[in-house]
Amino acid sequence: MFSRRGFLGTAALASASAVSGRVQAAAIPEAVHMDKAVMQPPLHPASGPDYRPVVTLNGWTLPFRMNGDWKEFHLVAEPVVREFAEGMKVNLWGYNGQSPGPTIEAVEGDKVRIFVTNRLPEYTTVHWHGMIVPSGMDGVGGLTQPHIQPGKTFVYEFEMKKSGTFMYHPHSDEMVQMAMGMMGMVVVHPRDQSFRPVDRDFVFVMSTYRVDPGTYLPRVNEMTDFNMWTWNARVFPGIDPLPVRLGDKVRVRIGNLSMTNHPIHLHGHSFAVTCTDGGWIPESAQYPETTTDVPVGAVRVFDVLADNPGDWAFHCHKSHHTMNAMGHDMRNMIGVSRKDLAKAVGKLAPDAMVMGQSGMAMGNMEMPAPDNTLPMMSGAGQFGPIEMGGMFTVMKIRENLARGDYRDPGPYQFPQGTVAYEVASPSAEPARQPGTPARRMKM
């Protein structure tokens, strides 16, 4: 799963005087790269204090090495190709082979040394969002450090002061670099393993892109009109499901580095938000919810007891955010008689298709699309088309899942008699359209 590329030699150790004797590590740790966009198994720590690791939706955790009592990581900022879902690849900037970058995991109290090598065509920095670090380690280019020029490596050193869920991203040509996908998550586990333990722990970051159909590069100056609403730079049906064992305590950690808020909704359960990027929420301040809004530039973590088996939709509740590339200049044709319209349009454009008279369900429709884009809605379930895209996936809660097994268990086997069903209806009347008079009620 990991591929190892050559890493920079000792010559790249920039401004050695600035970091003084703290880096006896003349050797920069090997940079580990990921070439896959599917969820990698949790990475259990081989050294240092123990913890129960997270899994990253469509992502992975960056391996570390111990050097004395320092935990050392190596991030490489570089251009990457990210597959949003099968059929669409986008040229992004990211870290260590993927965008978003790998999740960084450590333990409260750890001393970490993070090497950052810049292989981008312009300078960059890394800011540690939400983490309490010395000002000079905060990664704001120009303000707290010189920008990291292309080809150079900088070192960030700090102590993980508190446990929780944080993010990392550049503070250097920020608009462009974040619109190009440069971001990742940081999970700091509590040193006390008995503090709010869970059985399964998922993490992902939300970001949005404007990639016009047939193109391969996001428009970095887009401010509002995005067409790719992603979780870890993936869209449905490309987002991993969340496999969960019945009865597991589950934690889901969600970062938002997009330009709008996302109300995240889980079916079949209620949950409590237990942590933000500011820290853990005391139990006395928690309350039940089924949707939680994740504001821009924030983290929301919820804990849920998975006590209801099934396939549970898990998605952003803004309905445009569960769509892929869509045009917004379409008229609403619901209730408009297609016959008259088709006649009128047909005179002007004989090949035109009039659609949307009874809604826009397109489950059985196949339309030719340009290269490198995705249908507005897609995905198939055991009962038919799911007609979703963007920020949508499924929490799959199963009785017979092994502890630590994160493989997709497949579709839910519904117990007999538990699925909504059809009854014989008295007469097959066509649906009424707005504007048509109601049939007179028979007395």
Cis amide linkage into residue 79, ω under 30° from 0: no
| 170 touches 129 (CB < 8 A) | no
Among 321, 325, 379, 387, binds Cu ion (CB under 5 A): 321
- Interface region with Cu ion, contact rule CB under 5 A, candidates 16-24, 167-175, 308-316, 340-348: 308-316
Q: How far is the CB of 250 from Cu ion (least distance, A)?
A: 21
Cα–Cα distance, 109 to 358 (Å, whole number): 59
What is the residue type of 407? Answer: R
Q: How far is the CB of 261 from Cu ion (least distance, A)?
A: 7
| Nearest CB to Cu ion, comparing residues 228 and 244 | 228
| Nearest CB to Cu ion, comparing residues 312 and 406 | 312
The CA distances from residue 226 to 167, 327, 370, 394, in Å, are 22, 11, 18, 23
| Nearest CB to Cu ion, comparing residues 23 and 228 | 228
**Terminal alpha carbon distance of the chain:** 71
Length of the chain: 443
Select from 130, 110, 96 the least CA-distant residue to 51: 110
| Nearest CB to Cu ion, comparing residues 218 and 243 | 218
Q: Which residues contact 64 (CB under 8 A, 6 or more apart)?
A: 29, 48, 71, 72, 73, 106, 112
| Nearest CB to Cu ion, comparing residues 96 and 322 | 322
Among 43, 273, 316, 395, binds Cu ion (CB under 5 A): 316
Assess 85 for contact with Cu ion (CB under 5 A): no
Q: Which two tokens stand for residue 66?
A: 């111990």
Q: How far is the CB of 207 from Cu ion (least distance, A)?
A: 11
Q: How far is the CB of 313 from Cu ion (least distance, A)?
A: 14
Q: How far is the CB of 390 from Cu ion (least distance, A)?
A: 7
Q: How far is the CB of 391 from Cu ion (least distance, A)?
A: 5
Backbone phi, then psi, for 283, in 5-degree steps?
Answer: -55, -35
Q: How far is the CB of 273 from Cu ion (least distance, A)?
A: 17
Assess 205 for contact with Cu ion (CB under 5 A): no
| Nearest CB to Cu ion, comparing residues 262 and 300 | 262
Q: Which two tokens stand for residue 199?
A: 């059985």
# residues near Cu ion by CB under 5 A = 4
Q: Are strands 262-266 and 310-316 parallel, antiparallel or unpaired?
A: antiparallel
Assess 388 for contact with Cu ion (CB under 5 A): no
Assess 152 for contact with Cu ion (CB under 5 A): no
- Interface region with Cu ion, contact rule CB under 5 A, candidates 59-67, 296-304, 314-322, 348-356: 314-322
Largest CA distance in the chain: 94
Buried b or exposed e, range 367-384, using 16+ CB within 10 angstroms: eeeeebbbbbbbbeeeee
Select from 40, 1, 35, 3 the least CA-distant residue to 407: 40
Q: How far is the CB of 264 from Cu ion (least distance, A)?
A: 8
Q: How far is the CB of 229 from Cu ion (least distance, A)?
A: 6
Site string for Cu ion, 253-292 (x = CB under 5 A): ---------x------------------------------
The C-alpha angle 184, 185, 186, rounded to 5 degrees, equals 135
- Interface region with Cu ion, contact rule CB under 5 A, candidates 12-20, 309-317, 348-356, 406-414: 309-317
What are the helix and strand counts (H, E) for the chain? Answer: 3, 26
Assess 80 for contact with Cu ion (CB under 5 A): no
Assess 315 for contact with Cu ion (CB under 5 A): no
Q: How far is the CB of 132 from Cu ion (least distance, A)?
A: 29
Q: Are strands 70-85 and 111-118 parallel, antiparallel or unpaired?
A: parallel
Assess 300 for contact with Cu ion (CB under 5 A): no
| Nearest CB to Cu ion, comparing residues 204 and 280 | 204
| Nearest CB to Cu ion, comparing residues 234 and 321 | 321
- Interface region with Cu ion, contact rule CB under 5 A, candidates 149-157, 249-257, 317-325, 407-415: 317-325
| Nearest CB to Cu ion, comparing residues 162 and 318 | 318
The C-alpha angle 15, 31, 152, rounded to 5 degrees, equals 25
| Nearest CB to Cu ion, comparing residues 65 and 318 | 318
Assess 318 for contact with Cu ion (CB under 5 A): yes
Counting Cα atoms < 13 Å in the Cβ hemisphere of 15 gives: 12
| Nearest CB to Cu ion, comparing residues 52 and 318 | 318
Please state the separation of Cα 113 from the chain's center in Å. Answer: 26
Assess 127 for contact with Cu ion (CB under 5 A): no
The binding site for Cu ion (CB under 5 A) comprises: 262, 316, 318, 321
